[in-house]
Chains A and B, each alone.
Chain A
Amino acid sequence: MKAYVVKKVLSLPLIIFGVSIIVFIAIRALPGDPARLMAGPEAPQEAVDSMRVRLGLDQPLPLQYVRFAAEALHGNLGLSLQSQRPVMTEISERLPYTLSLAALAYLLAIAIGVPAGMTGAIYRQRIPDQIVMVLTIAGASIANFWLALLAMNYFAVELGWLPLLGADSWKNYIMPTVTLAILPMAMIARMTRSSMLDVLSQDYIRTAKAKGLSSASINWKHALRNALIPIVTIVALNFGSLIGGAVVTESVFNWPGIGRLLVDSVRYRDYPVIQGVTLVAVTGVVLMNLVGEILIGLLNPKIRFD
């Protein structure tokens, strides 16, 4: 286990290094001259040239990368072309909106997904199980922005119960949270069901029943402990898909998080922002995956790491 954790932790910088190279190369391959973009379309040629020197774009590529990496490690991701403010400031202002939305969506997904999965396992192949199975596979197949549009149409525009766009009050959280929670909810329900079915067929559950323990106590104490694995798997190992979902959800609801920042910056070809948001998002995903892999190792000593 220890060796496994050390190996995983050591592989982390290598992955982030690779990601930074991909982002660096992609941004350098962007159409258009970044120095011209930074200086403005009407700037004279001398201004563009001096901007090129200032940005270090006249240096050889490997040197540019070293500079870029050194700056990024110090938390300096450059200036946004659009707002002229540091990219790090833009990101740190918007990150709380994305993280609070993600946390609420996960809570909702766990609060509904775990009991739904347990119900499916307890009533295996009877009607409640079939309902749960149909709902989980539908939940995993639905386009979340479609659900968002339908919700906006009925609950915001027609009924007027909820605000349509923005993040001004707690009511603004309801529709984006539900939209974002659907996929993890379906996955958690499905995994909880199958891991609980595994557990319920184990010998020690039969022993517990034979000892005369009530089925409620068996279901909660013995079986639910194993539901922690699906929760950790979805929350930590599928964090990337939640971030992907957040990009779309935030754009639909005009939510001021980093997902919408990314989509907007593509529209304005604001390359320092694209670069910064991508690096921050991928680093977050990689860290979450690492935590998830370590936690699963701790939770399930049966998994061997060699």
Chain B
Amino acid sequence: MNSIDTSVLSPRSRSRHLISTLLANPSIAIGGALVLLVVLAAALAPLITHWDPVEQDLLNTLQAPSAAHWFGTDDYGRDIFSRVIYGARITLFEVSLSVAISMVIGIPLGIISGLAGRKMDALIMWVMDIIFAFPGIVLAILIVSVLGEGLTNMLIAISLFSIPVYARLSRNLTLGLKNMEYIEAAHMLGVRYPRIITHYILRNSIGPLIVQSTLTAGAVVLSAASLSFLGLGVQPPMPEWGTMMSDGRNFLGLNIYVSLFPGLAILITVLGFNVLGDGLRDVMDKRL
């Protein structure tokens, strides 16, 4: 617990204080560094590697790691290091889009549920319970079998099964906040609902929602990789980590590197999000 009363500080030093508080937590520092590593790999991919991630070189297939190909090459002679680095772009795209979709749909549903109460609440929560009853992968398979394989449809499927997580969380937060005296006071002073929602409820829910989205991000990476691994998500030759591992299945005993490195990249990314989320939750819990 930090004893400094941050309300007396200027906005700038307040945010500086916030950053130093956050970084003092080892989980946030380590998890944040891992996530940052993945972000940098995605952003700087062309500077990190000069190999084209989809260019084939049929004379140099299934090579072991070497000075030229740090992670070796796959069955089409493509550079695995380059595919792993460019794969970070696909993974971060999947995560940010999927988390954004589920938040944009889930949070309003939760707030409506919490504010409206009674029948509306029961109806929304019933639908959320139904979606939540499906094991994520099973729901995703059902949706992908209707819409067809591919990145977009996989993202729809994955986003759908995180919606109940945000809806339930923001409903609980709304229920906790809506009877607070300052919100009742604002209401009596004639502040309208849209403003109460944005200025009072959302602003006070941001912390827990960020923690939840960080923890969900790790799960999204794993689900997307699993679906692509099963051939239901991103299709070859795109350098998606799950798709690459699915390819590596055919070369067990011949070349494990095709599967080894994409899996390691998944581990680093998911570990980063999970450790970061744990750290953020610890810090937020103290504050709440």
Contacts and interface: CB of A to CB of B under 8 A. Distances in A.
B184 to A, nearest CB: 23
A50 interface: no
A153 B148 CA distance: 31
A99 interface: no
Contacts of A145: 226, 229, 245
A266 interface: yes
Interface in B205-223: 218, 222
Range class of the A interface residue count: 35 or more
Contacts of A43: none
A142 interface: yes
A248 B141 CA distance: 11
Contact of A26 (B143, B260, B275): B143
B130 A19 contact: yes
Main secondary structure of the interface of A (DSSP, over half): helix
Contact of B230 (A31, A150, A248): A248
Interface string B232-257: 10000000001001001100110010
B247 to A, nearest CB: 11
B44 interface: no
Nearest to A248: B226
B245 A146 contact: yes
Contacts of B271: 137-138, 141
Nearest to B27: A137
Interface of A: 11, 14-15, 18-19, 22-23, 26-27, 29-31, 137-138, 140-143, 145-147, 149-150, 152-153, 156-158, 164, 240-241, 243-244, 247-248, 251-252, 262-263, 266-267, 269, 271, 274, 277-278, 281-282, 285-286, 289
Given A26-B145, A248-B230, A289-B133, 15 more contacts: A22-B142, A23-B142, A31-B146, A142-B270, A143-B225, A143-B245, A145-B245, A146-B245, A150-B259, A240-B133, A241-B135, A244-B135, A263-B141, A266-B144, A282-B135
19 contacts: A15-B133, A26-B143, A26-B146, A27-B146, A30-B145, A30-B146, A31-B148, A137-B275, A142-B267, A143-B270, A150-B260, A157-B253, A240-B134, A244-B137, A244-B138, A248-B230, A263-B230, A271-B145, A274-B142
